[in-house]
Structure 1
Amino acid sequence: MFKLFFLCAFLLGNLAHAADSSTGQRFKKVLIIVLENTDYDEALKQPFLKKAASQGALLEKMNGLTHPSQGNYLAMIGGDSFQVKNDDPVNLRQQNLIDLLEKRGLSWKGYMENYPGNCFTGATKGRYVRKHNPFISFDNISSDPNRCANIQDLKAFAQDAAAGTLPNFSLLSPDLDNDGHDTGSRFASAWLEKVLADKLQDPTFMKDLLVVITFDESRARNNNHIYTVLLGDSVKPGASNRQTLTHASILKTIEVEFNLGSLGRLDATSPAIEGIWR
C-alpha cells in the first residue's frame, strides 16, 4: 500500500507537470511567418505591414544575425547560425527547438510553400528552396520520416487554421515569389494580407496564439536591421520594444514561455522579449 501510494503520487505529479508544460502564461501557440530581404524602413512603408505594426508590437531594434539568408533561418530553431555563410545545403548534427518541444510533449509543424514532402533534401523544387526551410538542415529531422511528416506544404496551414488545429509551434515560409525574395516587399506584403488579414480579426483563430511576422535579413549588407511585429491577445496593441534583439531572442521567448530549457547557444544569452505584453 505504501509503495502504491507513492507510485500514484509520482504518476499524478508527472501528469500535472506535462499539463503545465503544454501551455504558456501569455500564449499557447506561436506562428512565425518569415518574409525575405527587406530593410526595416522599407517594410514599414508597406500598407499591410504598417497596419500590423499598429495592431501589434513593433520590435524597433531587431536584427538578423548574418548574411545571406540561411544562417538566420537556422538560428530561428537552432539558436545559432553555426557559422553558415552561404545558402548551400548544410547537414547539421545538432540539437534544435524540435527536440525541446517534443521532450515536453508539444506539437510542431513547418509550413513550407511548395515543399515536395517525403524528407526531400534537394536544394530547389519549383519555387521552393531548401535554404528557407531550416528543419530539413538538421539531421535528426531529415533522417526521421515521422518528423519529416510535420514539414508540409502551405495548403496544410489553411486546413489547420480552418480546423483550429495549429500546433504549439509553427514556422511558415512562403515560396520565392510570395516571400518577396524575387518580387519585393510590396508583393510580399500584399500576399500576406490576403493570407492573414481576416485571420487576425478572428477571435477563434487568435485565441492563445502569438503571431510573429519577421524577415530573414535586410537588403542592405552594411547592417541587418529588420522589421518584426508580434500580434496576439497577449500583446499590447501599438506597443514598441527597443531592446537589441535577434532571431535568437524570439527563440528564447518561446523557450521561456513553454518552459523548454535552452539549447545552450545564443538562445541562452539572448534576452527574451519584454515590455510589450498585456
Structure 2
Amino acid sequence: MKPLNAWVRSGHVGAPGTLLTLLLLGLTLSGCGGSDASPSAQVNPVAPAITTQPASQMVTAGQTATFTVTATGTAPVSYQWQMNGTAIGGATAASYTTPATTAADNGDQFTVVVSNAAGSMTSNAAVLTVTSVLVAPTITTQPASQTVSAGQTATFTVTATGTAPLSYQWQKNGTAIGGATAASYTTPATTAADNGDQFTVVVSNTAGSVTSNAAALTVSSVLVAPTITRQPASQTVTAGQRATFTVTAAGTAPLSYQWQKNGTAIGAATAASYTTPATTAADNGDQFTVVVSNAAGSVTSTAASLTVTTTGNPPLKTVFLIMMENHNWSDITSSSSAPYINNTLLAIGAHATQYFNPPGIHPSLPNYLWLEAGTNFGILADDSPSAGHQSTTMHLVTLLKNANITWKAYQEDIAGTSCPLSNVSGYATKHNPFVYFDDVTNSLSSTSAYCIAHVRPFTELATDLANNTVASYNFITPNLTNDMHDGTIADGDTWLATHVPVILNSAAYKQGGVIFITWDEGEGGSAPGDTKDGPIGMMVLSPNAKVGYQNTIHYDHSSTLRTVEEIFKVSPMLGGAANQTDLSDLFTSFP
C-alpha cells in the first residue's frame, strides 16, 4: 500500500471523505498486522485417542445391546462402528445399539473407528453374547408312587424340561431330604414306619421353580416268594452254535438266579437268561434248570432239554477268506495279545496245526497269487501290478465268473472310486491278487468297471451282510496295521474280534457259510528246510466245521484253493491245487 503522502503527492487527493476513508483503512491494516502475522498464533489439530473402550455385552435373544466409546482429540471427531470388520450403515455416533438380537448374533465382534482431520484410531473388539430365552422348568413325567416290602428301597424319579442347569430338591412329607438333589431319589431300606410317606421334588433354574405332584410310598410287611411265570424252553441247535435259555419269574425283589446243567450249578450263570458256549455233539440231551430265589424262598424251574444236531446242515455256499500277515502259528498261540483267537475262535471252530505257505515262496505277493491261481508265476518279489500283471484267465475268480458265481474282494482303506492299482494309506496292492490279472483290470485300467464293481472298500462288507447281498466268494484284506504286517498281534486280534462276529451273526454265514482265516507266509526265509518258516495259522469257522477240533495234516495254500474250488464245483483244479489235500477233514460235512 502506498503511504498516505504518496497518494496526496500524486494528485489523488479527492474529497475530504475520501481522505478520511484512506486514513481509517490505513489504521485498520496496521492494527491487524497484515501479512506479517506471527506463526505462533496458529493451532495444530490433535489426533483422536480412545479413553474408554467399548465393553462386551451379554443379552438374551430378542433384546438389544448398546456399545459405547469415549475418545479425545481435536473436534470434529467422527465415528464408524463395524460388526465383524464390516462397517454398519448409519452407525456413526459414539454409541451404537443393535437391532433385536437372535441366537445367530452370538459371538459377533464390534469395533469403532474414531477419526478427525489429524488421523484415526480403531477400538478394541467388544464381543456380543446372546443367550437363549430362559424357560422356567416344567415337569413332563411326575414321580410315581411305589410299593415295596419292608427292608427294600424305593426309587422315585422325575423328568423335567427348561433352561439348563436344572436343580432338584426332594422332599419327604414336605421337608427337604439332605443330599437328595438329583433327578432320582432312592430311599434307605424301608420300614413299616415309612408306609404312607409322601415324596415331592422341587425343580428349579434361574427362571423359576416347580413342585411335583406327591408320590406315595407303600411299605408291605409281607414278602412274596418267587413264582415262575414262564418256564425255560427246550432248544435245538446245530453243533458249533450256542443255545440260550430264559426264565420269567415274579415275587418280592430282588430275585436271584442260578442256572444248572444236569443238576450242577453253572459258574457265573446268575441272570434271567443263560447262553451256552459253542455246542458239540456231546452236549446233546443236556438238561438245564434254574433256581429263582429271594428272601422269602426259592423255586426251581422245569428242565429244558438241549438238542444238538450234527447232520442236515445246509451245504456250503458262501466263503469268506480273511488274510493276516507274517506270523508263525506258534507266535499266535503263545501270545497273550491274542485272546480272541486263542479263547474264542479256536473254541468255536476247527484249525490245522500243520498249515504252511508253499515251500520257499516269499514274500507276500507270490503267496497271494498262489491262493488265486495255484502258482506264483515265477514272481518272488512284491512287484507292482504294472510289473507283475498276468494275462492268463486261468485263475479262481474267472472260473467263478464263468460259472455265474459271484465274487468280491473287500480291501481296507481303498476309496472304491477306481480300480486300486497303487498303494494308498494302509492298502497295499501286494495283498490284493486280483489287480494282477488283466481280465480283472481291463489291462491295468484304473477305470475298469469290472474291477471297480468287484474290488470294494471293506467298509461295505457290514452293509452287504446286513442286506444279505454278499457275494458267494469274499476275499477280505485288512490294512497293513490290522493284518499284523505293520501292526502287532494285538492289533490283528482286536480287528478280528471286531469284525468276525459281524460275519458270524449274518444270514449268509448261518445258512451255509464258512470263514477261512489264514496268514500269507511264515516268518522264516526261503531256504529249503528252514524250520522257522511256519507252520502258519488256518482256522475254519462254519456251522459245518468240527467245533474245537484240530488236526496235524500237512496243508498249504494249494489246499485252500482246492477246497474253495470243490465248494463251488469249478474246474480245472488250478496249479498246485490239483495235487494237494483239501481241508475237508476240518468239517463235519463237506462240501
Cα deviation per residue 1:27-76 (whole Å; 9 max; x = unaligned)? 10000000111111112232111121221111111001221111111111
- Give the distance between the partners of 1:263 and 1:92, measured in 2 at CA: 18
Give the letter aligned to residue 119 of structure 1.
C
TM-score (norm 1): 0.86
Residue 149 of structure 1 aligns to a residue whose secondary structure is helix
Give the letter aligned to residue 484 of structure 2.
G
Which structure features the higher share of strand residues? 2
**1:55 and 2:348 aligned:** yes
Moved more, 200-209 or 43-52: 200-209
- Give the distance between the partners of 1:230 and 1:268, measured in 2 at CA: 21
> Partner of 2:420 in structure 1?
120
> Partner of 1:269 in structure 2?
579
**Structure 1 residues 107 and 203: alpha-carbon distance in aligned structure 2, compared to 1, 3 A threshold:** closer
> Partner of 2:320 in structure 1?
31
Superposed counterparts of 1:37-76, under 5 Å: 37-44=326-333, 45=335, 46-50=338-342, 51-65=344-358, 66-76=361-371
> Partner of 2:512 in structure 1?
208
- Give the distance between the partners of 1:203 and 1:71, measured in 2 at CA: 34
Tell me how far 1:201 sits from its aligned partner: 4.9
Tell me how far 1:196 sits from its aligned partner: 1.4
- Give the distance between the partners of 2:492 and 2:332, measured in 1 at CA: 10
Tell me how far 1:246 sits from its aligned partner: 0.9
Runs of 4+ residues over 6 Å off in structure 1: none
- Give the distance between the partners of 1:216 and 1:188, measured in 2 at CA: 14
Give the letter aligned to residue 369 of structure 2.
L
Which structure features the higher share of helix residues? 1
Cα deviation per residue 1:91-119 (whole Å; 9 max; x = unaligned)? 01122101110111100000011124322
Tell me how far 1:233 sits from its aligned partner: 0.5
Residue 161 of structure 1 aligns to a residue whose secondary structure is helix
Superposed counterparts of 1:189-268, under 5 Å: 189-201=493-505, 205-221=509-525, 222=530, 223-268=533-578
- Give the distance between the partners of 2:464 and 2:415, measured in 1 at CA: 18
RMSD: 1.8
> Partner of 1:80 in structure 2?
375
Residue 266 of structure 1 aligns to a residue whose secondary structure is helix
The gaps in structure 1 that reach 5 residues or longer are 1-23
Tell me how far 1:241 sits from its aligned partner: 2.6
Higher relative contact order by CA 8 Å / sep ≥ 6: 1 or 2?
1
Structure number, greater radius of gyration: 2
- Give the distance between the partners of 1:249 and 1:190, measured in 2 at CA: 27
Same amino acid, percent of matched pairs: 26
Q: Which of 366, 371, 390 is the matching residue for 1:92?
A: 390
Tell me how far 1:204 sits from its aligned partner: 6.2
Are 1:214 and 1:227, in contact at CA under 8 Å, matched by a contact in 2?
A: yes
Give the letter aligned to residue 156 of structure 1.
E
Superposed counterparts of 1:123-162, under 5 Å: 124-143=423-442, 144-162=448-466
TM-score (norm 2): 0.41
- Give the distance between the partners of 1:267 and 1:277, measured in 2 at CA: 19
- Give the distance between the partners of 1:276 and 1:88, measured in 2 at CA: 34
- Give the distance between the partners of 1:192 and 1:77, measured in 2 at CA: 23
Tell me how far 1:150 sits from its aligned partner: 0.6
- Give the distance between the partners of 1:259 and 1:64, measured in 2 at CA: 24
- Give the distance between the partners of 1:170 and 1:133, measured in 2 at CA: 12
> Partner of 2:264 in structure 1?
none
Give the letter aligned to residue 454 of structure 2.
N
**Structure 1 residues 204 and 253: alpha-carbon distance in aligned structure 2, compared to 1, 3 A threshold:** closer
Residue 586 of structure 2 aligns to a residue whose secondary structure is coil
Tell me how far 1:236 sits from its aligned partner: 1.2
- Give the distance between the partners of 1:116 and 1:84, measured in 2 at CA: 28
Are 2:509 and 2:542, in contact at CA under 8 Å, matched by a contact in 1?
A: no
The gaps in structure 2 that reach 5 residues or longer are 1-312, 443-447
- Give the distance between the partners of 1:67 and 1:184, measured in 2 at CA: 20
- Give the distance between the partners of 1:121 and 1:166, measured in 2 at CA: 23
Give the letter aligned to residue 339 of structure 2.
P
> Partner of 2:81 in structure 1?
none
- Give the distance between the partners of 2:468 and 2:509, measured in 1 at CA: 7
Q: Which of 464, 467, 475 is the matching residue for 1:171?
A: 475
- Give the distance between the partners of 1:126 and 1:215, measured in 2 at CA: 21
Moved more, 194-203 or 69-78: 194-203
Are 1:161 and 1:205, in contact at CA under 8 Å, matched by a contact in 2?
A: no
Residue 60 of structure 1 aligns to a residue whose secondary structure is strand
Are 2:318 and 2:508, in contact at CA under 8 Å, matched by a contact in 1?
A: no
Tell me how far 1:202 sits from its aligned partner: 5.4
- Give the distance between the partners of 1:274 and 1:162, measured in 2 at CA: 29
